[in-house]
Structures are given as structure tokens and as C-alpha cells.
């Protein structure tokens, strides 16, 4: 697992964050802000903000993964476990390399589907914590 984590974080540049909040106190925002500060491009995905002029972390917010007009490396999920299966299907549709279910999110069926689609599947792990761990060890 750690080699998958290392590889995906080293080779990825663009992260779609499904369920991101514009609230600066929410984990989805602070985690995305950290990843952005480390050179990753963050693509917010949340229908609540998609049709407004408000940007999140300076980026346009999309309603759905399929609305993003460019390639995505990692789909980072901040949604309830029960919502992840259709996100996995959408991740495959947009040809993402990785479906990343954040800490506390572990939809086994979605993870298996991602693997069937030849995507890296990471469950119940925080991308920020894993990135910090990799930076500390290198």
C-alpha cells in the first residue's frame, strides 16, 4: 500500500476534490489548501458552489467530475461512504488514475470497482497526512 501511495503522490499533479467546502474550517478545505501549497492543482467539485461566482482556493468549482474539461489524476472524496460508488464510476468515466477515499470513508464496493477499472484505490486515508509522511521520510 505505501508504494502505491508514494507512486500516486509522486506522479500526480491534479486533484479533483469531491465534496469540498468553501468553509475554511472544514477538513476538505484545509486538506486541499495544504495540497495546493505543495504544488498540486486543486479542482473543486461541489454542486452547491458550481453555479456561483464564488471560487474555492482561487479555482472554479464544478458540479460533477464529468464537467471538468481537462484530465484529473486523483479523485479525492470528502463525501459519506454511501455516496462513493457513483463517484467511482464517474472517476472511471474521466479516466482518473486514482480514487482516494479520505479518512473515515471506506466504500469497499467502490474500491473494488476502481481496481477493476485499473485505477489505484485508496480508502480510509488522509491525503494530507500521507503527503506529510512521504515528505518526512524523504
Residue 89 near residue 65 (C-beta atoms within 8 A): no
Domain boundaries, the chain: 2-136
pLDDT given at position 121: 95
pLDDT given at position 96: 97
The per-residue pLDDT for range 106-122, each reduced to its tens digit, is: 999 999 999 999 999 99
Other residues' Cβ atoms within 10 Å of the Cβ of residue 124: 13
pLDDT given at position 73: 98
pLDDT given at position 51: 83
The per-residue pLDDT for range 62-73, each reduced to its tens digit, is: 999 999 999 999
HSE value, Cβ hemisphere, 13 Å, CA-based, for 78? 21
What is the model's pTM? 0.95
Percent of the chain topping pLDDT 90:
88
Task: Report the pLDDT averaged over residues 126-136.
Answer: 93
Task: Report the pLDDT averaged over residues 26-54.
Answer: 95
Of 77, 78, 71, the closest CA to residue 97 belongs to 71
Residue 33 near residue 128 (C-beta atoms within 8 A): no
Class of domain 2-136: alpha beta
Amino acid at each position: 500500500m505505501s508504494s502505491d501511495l508514494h507512486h500516486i503522490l509522486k506522479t500526480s499533479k491534479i486533484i479533483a476534490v469531491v465534496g469540498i467546502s468553501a468553509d475554511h474550517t472544514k477538513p476538505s478545505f484545509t486538506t486541499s489548501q495544504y495540497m495546493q501549497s505543495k504544488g498540486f492543482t486543486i479542482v473543486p467539485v461541489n454542486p452547491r458552489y458550481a453555479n456561483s461566482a464564488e471560487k474555492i482556493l482561487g479555482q472554479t468549482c464544478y458540479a460533477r467530475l464529468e464537467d471538468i474539461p481537462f484530465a484529473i489524476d486523483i479523485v479525492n472524496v470528502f463525501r459519506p461512504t454511501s455516496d462513493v460508488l457513483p463517484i467511482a464510476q464517474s472517476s472511471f468515466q474521466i479516466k482518473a488514475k486514482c480514487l482516494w477515499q479520505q479518512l473515515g470513508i471506506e466504500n469497499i464496493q467502490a474500491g473494488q470497482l476502481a481496481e477493476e477499472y485499473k485505477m489505484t484505490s485508496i480508502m480510509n486515508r488522509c491525503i494530507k497526512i500521507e503527503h506529510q509522511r512521504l515528505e518526512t521520510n524523504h
